[in-house]
Amino acid sequence: MHSLEQPSLIGAQLLHDPVLNKGTAFTEKERDVYRLRGLLPPRVNSQDQQVARVLENLRRKDTDLERYIFMMALQDRNETLFYRLILDHLEELVPIIYTPTVGRACQEYGHIFRRPRGIFISLEDAGRVANLLCNWPYKEIRVVVVTDGERILGLGDLGADGMGIPVGKLSLYTACGGIDPTLCLPVTIDVGTNNENLLRDPLYIGRGHPRVCGQSYDALMKEFVDAVEGLFPHALIQFEDFGNKNAFRLLAEYRDKTCAFNDDIQGTAAVVLAGLHSASKLTQRSLADQRYLFFGAGEAGTGIADLLVAEMKSSGLSEKAARNCCWFIDSKGLVVSERRDLAKHKVRYAHHHSFMTDPVSIIGAVRPAAIIGASGQPGVFSEAVLKLMGGINERPIIFALSNPTSKSECTAEAAYRCTGGRAIFASGSPFDPIVIDGRKLVPSQGNNVYIFPGLGLGTVAAESRRVTDAMLLAAARTLAGEVSKSDLAEGRIYPRLARIRQVSVKIAVAVAKAAYDQGLTAQREPLDLEAYIRDQMYIPTYTDYA
Ligand code: NAI
């Protein structure tokens, strides 16, 4: 999967190629061979010196949005240095290049826009989508992240300005999963936007018409998937931040036809399932032995429940019994069978129970071990909710997953304070550690970044034709297995982000193994699968061109 090559470019063109450029790190010999003499300052820097310089500049910026803009400019200038910097400072930089800052960046995308990255496909391109993909400068693509911008994080319809998301996600595939950046393709399908502010904004980068749906939307998506399959036969397609309706439809349409998954539905599910596996170690209760109350019955919530049900079934529970463990509240109230307004994906979790709307009364009736927030509604885990969870559970599981931070169902501080520090807490966006009664508690971040880079690496390394539940379950179990006793003692239910590359390799091995076991690939399983996968990983150090 490597794309290393001796540059065919020379002089200024080489300096302006972000994949090949090394900036001040070009050696004396390379400066002669590639006609760079005079174009660079005389002193040759090491990559470490370059990292120190960019870090100093980055930290001088006043806001996270400015840091984001700085990072994007670095990516456009010198990709190797960009990835070296991220890998060396993951905990500091993942929140800059991804959630929460990327959300802010997408809200401002048309205003901070400097240089395009990725392929934009609009309705006007119907009939020539393959030609557009051929315009991309790299011909071997293994991971495609595609959005239509309708539901960017918890921020709603950002239309073509949502391109920041596929770009950011793919940066994480490379940084955390070691997928070579030239094998990654960000795509935005621009079918319009219903965001009035954007339609009025002269600097908006997309087509200025309302969102188109129906037949022409479906035909464009089909043409896109077919074109990817035709041009890049071993590529994984990740559907990202599609609106609720299309997300479920597209996943149902393509998951059994091509190598595709939806990160909001399935990636979230795997990362949360891993968190629940870890929490089980703290509560000493099995997954099947407790109830889960979801706030939010959308992509994230029902995706988590579906995978949780698959996991409980794999341990011997019947489908019905497993579903009976999962309860939902949506914008209207408790999801129950007497309701006639339920979308299809909610019906399978509608239980025979009286309809209720007050979350505190619902918790009193359902008595869940865990509340899982995927509602995009800040504050729905009120003090009363949290205190009641602490009252009925020794170690209440509180997952406030909505992004960005401003949408979180509660803060880490509230979760710990209202439960006397007993909560097992995870959130979608990061929170700082809290000290309660002299004890340091580290909130966990149920970030999909723990799953999708390893899932992607394993899928493409094995050249799997599909992404199956078995692969997702393997990823979740492996992630939970990477949490150490000392992590758990501090309240962490995920490994430290600094270990993400090692964790991604382990996940990739488990995912690839599941693909081989299910006969999803024409490849023979390598004798040393881990070595085979490690050998394919991109490492952001400079190659000697001379
Ligand atoms: P969605 O729009 O598909 O679903 C939202 C759901 O929340 C709907 O079922 C809606 O009826 C419900 N809801 C609205 N108000 C509510 C209330 N007051 N109480 C209970 N439910 C209510 O959105 P999706 O994709 O499921 O995402 C939801 C949130 O989860 C977003 O904020 C997103 O950022 C977050 N998320 C977090 C991830 C992570 O942390 N790893 C990954 C994916 C999503």
User: CB neighbours of 308 closer than 8 A, spacing ≥ 6?
Assistant: 269, 272, 273, 276, 287, 292, 322, 325, 326
Average pLDDT over residues 242-269: 96
DSSP string, 310-353: HHHHHTT--HHHHHHTEEEE-SSSB-BTT-S---HHHHTT-BSS
Average pLDDT over residues 494-518: 97
What's the CA-to-centroid distance between 263 and ligand 1, angstroms? 14
User: CB neighbours of 233 closer than 8 A, spacing ≥ 6?
Assistant: none
Amino acid identity, position 204: Y
User: CB neighbours of 352 closer than 8 A, spacing ≥ 6?
Assistant: 336, 337
CA 332 vs CA 209, 340, 346: distances in Å? 31, 12, 13
CA 288 vs CA 138, 326, 516: distances in Å? 47, 10, 28
Ligand 1 pocket, 271 CB below 6 A? yes
List the catalytic residue out of 34, 68, 98, 542. Answer: 98
Ligand 1 pocket, 401 CB below 6 A? yes
Cβ–Cβ < 8 Å for 158, 198: yes
DSSP string, 400-466: E--SSGGG-SS-HHHHHHHTTT--EEEESS----EEETTEEE--EE--GGGTHHHHHHHHHHTT-S-
What's the CA-to-centroid distance between 87 and ligand 1, angstroms? 30
Average pLDDT over residues 513-520: 98
Q: Which pLDDT score is estimated for 153?
A: 87
Cβ–Cβ < 8 Å for 163, 193: no
The residue whose CA has the least distance to atom 25 of ligand 1 is: 299
CA–CA dist 448, 451 (Å, integer): 5
**Ligand 1 pocket check: which of 295, 375, 380 to mutate, most ligand atoms within 8 Å of Cβ?**
375
Amino acid identity, position 12: A
Q: Which pLDDT score is estimated for 167?
A: 98
pLDDT(368) > 50: yes
Q: Which pLDDT score is estimated for 79?
A: 98
% of the chain surpassing 70 pLDDT? 99
User: In this structure, is the dihedral angle defined by the CA atoms of residues 340, 307, 159 and 189, taken in order, positive or negative?
Assistant: negative
Provide the 3-class DSSP secondary structure of residue 370: strand
494: tokens are 């995920």
At 95-114, the pLDDT tens digits run: 999 988 999 999 999 999 99
Is residue 64 classed exposed, middle or buried when 0-12, 13-18 and 19+ CB atoms within 10 A define those classes? middle
% of the chain surpassing 90 pLDDT? 94
Angle formed at CA 385 by CA 384 and CA 388, multiple of 5 degrees = 80
Residue where the block lists tokens 């030239």: 182
- Residue 203 per-residue DSSP state: T
At 462-499, the pLDDT tens digits run: 999 999 999 999 999 999 999 999 999 988 999 999 99
Mean of all residue pLDDT scores within the chain: 96
What's the CA-to-centroid distance between 294 and ligand 1, angstroms? 10
CA–CA dist 220, 150 (Å, integer): 15
Cβ–Cβ < 8 Å for 428, 408: yes
Average pLDDT over residues 235-242: 98
* Active-site annotation holds for 98: yes
Provide the 3-class DSSP secondary structure of residue 249: helix
Please report which confidence band the pLDDT of residue 2 belongs to, taking 50, 70 and 90 as the band edges. very low
CA–CA dist 29, 94 (Å, integer): 35
pTM strictly above 0.85: yes
Cβ–Cβ < 8 Å for 36, 14: yes
CA–CA dist 520, 325 (Å, integer): 31
- Residue 538 per-residue DSSP state: -
Q: Which pLDDT score is estimated for 5?
A: 64
Measured torsion, CA atoms of residues 155, 476, 363, 417, in degrees rounded to the nearest 10: -80
pLDDT(517) > 80: yes
Q: Which pLDDT score is estimated for 402?
A: 93
Q: Which pLDDT score is estimated for 299?
A: 87
User: CB neighbours of 396 closer than 8 A, spacing ≥ 6?
Assistant: 369, 370, 371, 386, 389, 390, 419, 422, 423, 424
Ligand 1 pocket, 380 CB below 6 A? yes
358: tokens are 């007050």
Q: Which pLDDT score is estimated for 4?
A: 52
CA–CA dist 307, 347 (Å, integer): 16
CA–CA dist 335, 491 (Å, integer): 31
pLDDT(347) > 70: yes
368: tokens are 């869940």
Q: Which pLDDT score is estimated for 437?
A: 86
The residue whose CA has the least distance to atom 15 of ligand 1 is: 331
CA–CA dist 118, 394 (Å, integer): 49
Q: CB under 8 Å, gap of 24 or more: what pairs does 358-362 form?
A: 359/295, 359/329, 359/385, 360/384, 360/385, 360/388, 362/293, 362/327, 362/329, 362/333, 362/334
* Active-site annotation holds for 320: no
Phi, psi of 336 (to 5 degrees): -130, 160
CA 60 vs CA 56, 70, 84, 440: distances in Å? 6, 11, 19, 29
